[in-house]
Amino acid sequence: MTCHRFILIPLILLIVRLVSGQLDYHTLHQEALVVDTHSDVLLQILRGQDFTRRSTLGHIDLVRLREGGVDVQFFAAWPNPELYKPDKMFTQTLNLIDLFDKTMNRCSGQIQLARSPQEIYDLVGSGKIAACLGVEGGTAIENDLQKLEQLYNRGVRYLTLTWNDSPDWASSAQDEMKPAYPGICGLSEFGRQVVLRLNELGMMVDVSHSGEKTFWDVIHISTKPVIASHSCVYALAPHVRNLKDDQIRAIAKSNGLICINFYAGYLDVTFDQKFNHLRKSSAAHMDSVKKQYAQDPSGYRKYQENYYRNQTRDFRPDLGKIVDHLEYIINLIGDDYVGLGSDFDGFMVSPAGLDDVSYLPELTRIMLERGFSSERIGKILGANFMRVFQAVQP
């Protein structure tokens, strides 16, 4: 197996340099393999953002990925069910993958699709960023296992079984909370076939967004490690999107991975409550502004981002909250089962001090200040993910 640069520096040397003060957090961050298991930047590209240039919009572009020291970035293909359900979800997913391919082709070899752990090591070892694909929402396969295989052949390496909406064969966390939800709760027989086919193909089963009944059905049937690509801890922030202690333990028992989401509302539910109130009270103002920017949608998005960032200044949690969630999981199950799944470009407000991906080394700084060892930080930043990705290979 090709060695990545962080493997070339023996761990003991890293520790010696850290103790002696010769290794700062920037160096530690750059020497580690840094993996982000979930972003929605394809939505920004779909809206016209030039991924190859540094943008003042959103959270991710090629320039800021470099500044943030990211080695492996997952791009989520999310077909909006409000626009494409029920019979255009698969077509739109393919359209998003086509957009991904075109974007990679415009990047002059700086970032490239990786389909396997070995391809990740090879790309990163040659100085490139490895781009990986996930699909967010089982409705994308339109109840057809052949379509799942087509997605695998296009390079997709995980399927998030549900988004907030539910496919016919699995229930989402949001839908399971609805007393009048008419669909199946948990996995149907076809849902079980989906999970087993994912195992056979070597695609990771992602339970972020899944309802608890779906979650436990997956745990009982999957023969491979299970991931939560962008979720947080329910005990710290009791939100329907977060994982309870028994779920965290079950993922660890599967030798899987929980990747912490950076959205402020999943890190701190008091923020979520205040932010929802702010959005309601600002609705008329934002409607008026949107009309002013009718011919300039990117200008409106920039105004919207800046407005909510400024309005939440007094109650926006700082990036230490991310480390709180990491630390909770580590104390519960150890440091082998936790990683980072930012959800960048899938929300408007991130923690203070982490406005976009270019600030990611600051997270390493906080982990060092909390007393995390260089080995533990390396696991969180990417080594744990690589273990899981290797384990799901057929």
Compute φ and ψ for 237, nearest 5 degrees.
Answer: -145, 95
| Whether residue 363 sits in one domain with residue 216 | yes
Mean pLDDT of 353-362: 97
Which residue among 254, 286, 316 closes a domain? Answer: 316
Neighbours of 177 (CB within 10 A): 12
User: pLDDT by residue (tens digit) across 232-284?
Assistant: 999 999 999 999 999 999 999 999 999 999 999 999 999 999 999 999 999 99
Which residue among 316, 333, 352 closes a domain? Answer: 316
User: pLDDT by residue (tens digit) across 300-309?
Assistant: 999 999 999 9
Name the 3-class secondary structure at 73.
Answer: strand
| Whether residue 310 sits in one domain with residue 324 | no
| Whether residue 360 sits in one domain with residue 293 | no
User: pLDDT by residue (tens digit) across 148-160?
Assistant: 999 999 999 999 9
Q: How confident is the model at residue 5 (pLDDT cuts 50, 70, 90)?
A: very low
Largest CA distance in the chain: 61
| Whether residue 107 sits in one domain with residue 209 | yes
Residue 302, pLDDT score: 92
Between 15 and 201, the more confident residue is 201
| Whether residue 279 sits in one domain with residue 247 | no
- Give 380's DSSP letter: I
pLDDT over 70 at 40, yes or no: yes
Q: Token digits for 308?
A: 């909510």
Q: How confident is the model at residue 161 (pLDDT cuts 50, 70, 90)?
A: very high
User: pLDDT by residue (tens digit) across 75-101?
Assistant: 999 999 999 999 999 999 999 999 999
| Whether residue 285 sits in one domain with residue 253 | no
pLDDT over 50 at 20, yes or no: no
Which residue among 316, 339, 373 closes a domain? Answer: 316
Mean pLDDT of 1-28: 56
Mean pLDDT of 171-197: 97
Sign of CA dihedral 154, 156, 159, 163: negative
| Whether residue 309 sits in one domain with residue 230 | no
| Whether residue 367 sits in one domain with residue 379 | yes
Residue 12, pLDDT score: 52
Q: Is the pTM of this model over 0.85?
A: yes
| Whether residue 304 sits in one domain with residue 185 | no
Domain of 299, in residue numbers: 271-316
Domain tally for the chain? 2
Cβ-contact 115, 155 below 8 angstroms: yes
The number of helices, as runs of H, and strands, as runs of E, in the chain is: 21, 9
Closest among 149, 152, 145, 134 to 167, alpha carbons compared:
145
| Whether residue 311 sits in one domain with residue 264 | no
| Whether residue 324 sits in one domain with residue 310 | no
Q: How confident is the model at residue 4 (pLDDT cuts 50, 70, 90)?
A: very low
pLDDT over 90 at 375, yes or no: yes
Q: Token digits for 176?
A: 């399971």
Q: What CATH number corresponds to the domain at position 179?
A: 3.20.20.140
394 preceded by a cis bond (ω within 30 of 0): no
Residue 23, pLDDT score: 65
- How does DSSP assign 9-21, residue by residue? S-HHHHHHHHHHT
| Whether residue 344 sits in one domain with residue 299 | no
